[in-house]
Chains A and B, each alone.
Chain A
Amino acid sequence: QVQLQESGPGLVKPSATLSLTCSVSGGSINTYYWSWIRQSPGKGLEWIGYIYYTGSTNYNPSLKSRVTISVDTSKNQFSLELRSVTAADTAVYFCAREAQQWVRSWFDPWGQGILVTVSS
């Protein structure tokens, strides 16, 4: 079955850019919507944004000015860039696929998550 794996630095300096990649195995990135979701320590889940395999995107308005999500179908992976980070961006970052092809749907499966700490 499809598995997702986040990768990237676990420590990012304030004002720098957080960059993460989600590698998809066991299935194709085509025909699905792919999202980044984060969870600050001890807090709830926050959707960051999604990308469709065609490259179309939609972002959470609260983060839109700082976020770029891109897809590389040849590598079966998609990526997150979050610019000008502060301590408030410290969180576990999850990648997830929407369950149904072609249409918007619930998140399943999820990656295991990666903790990113913003600190000098």
Chain B
Amino acid sequence: EIVLTQSPATLSLSPGERATLSCGASQSISSSYLAWYQQKPGLAPRLLIYDVSNRATGIPDRFSGSGSGTYFTLTISRLELEDFAVYYCQQYGSSPLFGGGTKVEI
């Protein structure tokens, strides 16, 4: 059974700074089946990235995803106020699984 570990649990940054969020898998994730979501309080998660590096419709290009195998990264090039939220990675396939989340706080 795959385990997804996100780090750090909390990232304290200022607007304009670069955020780098990590997602590690206990086993290799096949076929680039990895997505990233953003969640704000009281709302459903919002898809940001799918297939490791493809931005979803309407997602600004300051968000980018990379990685392969067991290590994946979500980068926010320059944080804007609306980017402070919780971010989850997710592997999809036969048994979807979410990481524990990274909170990006001001």
Contacts and interface: CB of A to CB of B under 8 A. Distances in A.
16 contacts: A44-B98, A44-B99, A44-B100, A45-B45, A45-B90, A45-B98, A45-B101, A50-B96, A58-B95, A61-B95, A104-B93, A104-B94, A105-B92, A106-B35, A107-B37, A110-B44
Interface of B: 1, 33, 35, 37, 43-45, 47, 50-51, 56, 88, 90, 92-101
B33 A104 contact: yes
Contacts of B44: 94, 96, 110-113
Contacts, number: 56
A106 B50 contact: yes
A99 B100 CA distance: 22
B56 A108 contact: yes
Contacts of A90: none
A58 B94 CA distance: 8
Contacts of B95: 47, 58, 60-61
Nearest to A6: B44
